[in-house]
């Protein structure tokens, strides 16, 4: 059984802790603010803000922020997605309080000095250039931009060189005040200490900051027309994505879709598409299916790369497989195997303490509730073949396609 304990600080920051047997502790402050919370003149600002957290606080210079945990053998890091920004740390269990104090310092006391921010802008521009050299990453982001065209989900997390040129320390401070409110924060932790200790440390370093409440609501993306687009990139192989809009994270069909995606093109070698395109025909080295849920929408896509003259055949085979999932129920044996596989993958993920800590924090942040491992298993086992067919019909009809070749 995987147990967790939740609490709420006086300023509205929610907390969650899972006690595990380990000499290592993991913790994170997750903020429900990402690139979709940027104004049209702020593209790239959420990610820019994340980088700015490491550039000095009212108590520390930049090098002191970066060395605080590293000198103890631990680490401090952060990442930005379209909907959240997370600052996380890993330390020895005995240094847990030091990690919490540092996360609180950078989250609430960062000063974003102009000189440091100007240097970091150049670092992010280099990151953008590196990203443009990767056709696969560019393809994924471009597809999402197109599938969410016209919405706040429809732009790149990194921003562009021109948009970054307009951003400065004042931009970051204003964005943080508007989006990084305490009612939109969750502090999560795992370690070999009691929930009472975890809450006590969180209260010591996080509870005294002033409560704040978000003053706006996100707007759900409007419907779009399916598209088929081919772009000449002069790559050695063709890179292709087939996909569609999907359920948001609060949709009760989300779990059935996750199971379906795992069956279709999950990480295991026996996924339908891996067997069909790679094992049986040797058409593609990289083939997989993916699902990303957001708070009010989501996206599913199938990605593959292949020799250019095999593209049409791969697309035809994938289309046929999707039609089968929409019209032919899985056998009882195949469905039972798929459920067992998915539950085992979930258990293995939960056994990775850092991934578990981040996942629990994200779930509490967005859903404000969590299922125990046993509850998740019960829901997975209850999914029927007919439900999977229904989900396949709803999600994989009228697909869009983007090709780089």
Q: Of 206, 215, 208, 218, nearest to 177 (Cα)?
A: 215
Tell me the CA end-to-end span of the chain in Å, nearest whole number: 48
- Classify domain 5-206 at the CATH superfamily level: Metalloenzyme, LuxS/M16 peptidase-like (3.30.830.10)
* CATH T-level fold of 228-404: Cytochrome Bc1 Complex; Chain A, domain 1 (3.30.830)
> For the chain, what percentages of helix, strand and coil (3-state, to nearest 5) are there?
50, 20, 35
**Looking at the predicted structure, is the pLDDT value of residue 1 above 50?**
no
**pLDDT, tens only, 282-320:** 999 999 999 999 999 999 999 999 999 999 999 999 999
Same fold, 5-206 and 228-404: yes
Convert the pLDDT of each residue in 256-271 to its tens digit: 999 999 999 999 999 9
Which residues are within 8 A (CB) of 61 and not within 5 positions of it... i.e. 6 or more apart? none
Strands 298-306 and 238-246: antiparallel
Residue 233 has pLDDT above 90, yes or no: no
The values of phi and psi at residue 201, to 5°, are -65, -40
Q: What is the pLDDT of residues 86-108, one digit of tens each?
A: 999 999 999 999 999 999 999 99
Give CA–CA dist 256/244, Å, rounded.
16
* Extended beta strands in 48-160, E state: 75-80, 85-92
Average pLDDT for residues 72-83, to the nearest whole number?
96
Q: Does residue 281 contact residue 314 with C-beta atoms inside 8 Å?
A: no
- For the segment 47-71, the average pLDDT, to the nearest whole number, is 95
Q: Which of 329, 325, 330 is nearest to 392 (CA)?
A: 325
DSSP H helices, 266-352, are: 272-273, 311-327, 332-351
- Domain extents in the chain: 5-206, 228-404
**pLDDT > 60? residue 240:** yes
Look at residue 209 and tell me whether its pLDDT is greater than 70. yes
Query: Please, which residues have CB within 8 angstroms of residue 262's CB and are 6 or more apart in sequence?
Result: 268, 271, 338, 341, 342, 345
Per-chain mean pLDDT for the chain: 95
Given pLDDT bands bounded at 50, 70 and 90, which one contains residue 174?
Answer: very high
Residue 214 tokens read as 């978000």
Q: Note the pLDDT of residue 134.
A: 82
Q: What is the mean pLDDT of residues 203-229?
A: 96
Beta pairing class for 14-19 and 5-8? antiparallel
* Averaged pLDDT, 342-362: 92
Confidence of residue 2 (pLDDT cuts 50, 70, 90): low
């Amino acid at each position: 059984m995987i147990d967790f304990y939740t609490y709420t600080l006086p300023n509205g920051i929610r907390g969650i802790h899972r006690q595990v047997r380990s000499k290592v502790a993991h913790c994170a402050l997750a903020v429900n603010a990402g690139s979709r919370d940027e104004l049209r003149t702020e593209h790239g600002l959420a990610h820019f803000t994340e980088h700015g957290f490491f550039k000095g606080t009212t108590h520390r210079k930049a090098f002191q922020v970066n060395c605080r945990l590293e000198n103890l053998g631990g680490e401090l890091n952060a990442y930005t997605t379209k909907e959240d920004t997370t600052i996380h740390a890993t330390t020895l269990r005995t240094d847990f309080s030091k990690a919490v104090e540092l996360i609180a310092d950078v989250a609430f006391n960062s000063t974003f000095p102009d000189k440091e921010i100007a240097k970091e802008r150049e670092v992010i521009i280099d990151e953008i250039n590196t990203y443009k050299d990767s056709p696969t990453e560019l393809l994924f982001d471009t597809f999402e931009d197109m599938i969410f065209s016209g919405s706040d989900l429809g732009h790149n997390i990194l921003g562009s060189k021109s948009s970054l040129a307009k951003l400065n320390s004042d931009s970051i401070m204003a964005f943080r005040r508007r989006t990084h409110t305490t009612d939109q924060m969750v502090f999560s932790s795992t370690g070999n200490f009691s929930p009472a200790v975890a809450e006590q440390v969180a209260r010591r370093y996080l509870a005294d900051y002033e409560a704040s409440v978000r003053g706006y609501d996100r707007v759900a993306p409007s419907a779009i027309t399916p598209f088929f687009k081919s772009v000449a990139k002069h790559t050695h192989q063709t890179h292709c994505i087939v996909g569609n809009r999907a359920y948001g994270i609060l949709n009760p069909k989300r779990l059935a879709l996750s199971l379906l995606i795992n069956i279709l093109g999950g990480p295991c070698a026996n996924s339908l598409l891996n067997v069909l395109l790679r094992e049986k025909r040797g058409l593609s080295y990289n083939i997989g299916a993916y699902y990303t849920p957001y708070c009010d929408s989501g996206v599913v896509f199938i990605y593959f790369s292949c020799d250019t003259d095999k593209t049409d055949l791969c697309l035809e085979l994938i289309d046929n497989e999707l039609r089968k999932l929409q019209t032919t129920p899985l056998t009882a044996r195949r469905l039972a195997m798929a459920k067992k596989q998915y539950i085992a993958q979930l258990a293995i993920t939960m056994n990775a303490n850092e991934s578990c800590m981040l996942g629990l924090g994200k779930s509490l942040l967005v859903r404000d509730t969590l299922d125990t491992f046993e509850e998740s298993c019960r829901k997975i086992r209850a999914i029927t073949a007919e439900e999977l067919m229904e989900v396949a019909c709803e999600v994989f009809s009228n697909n869009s396609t983007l090709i780089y070749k």
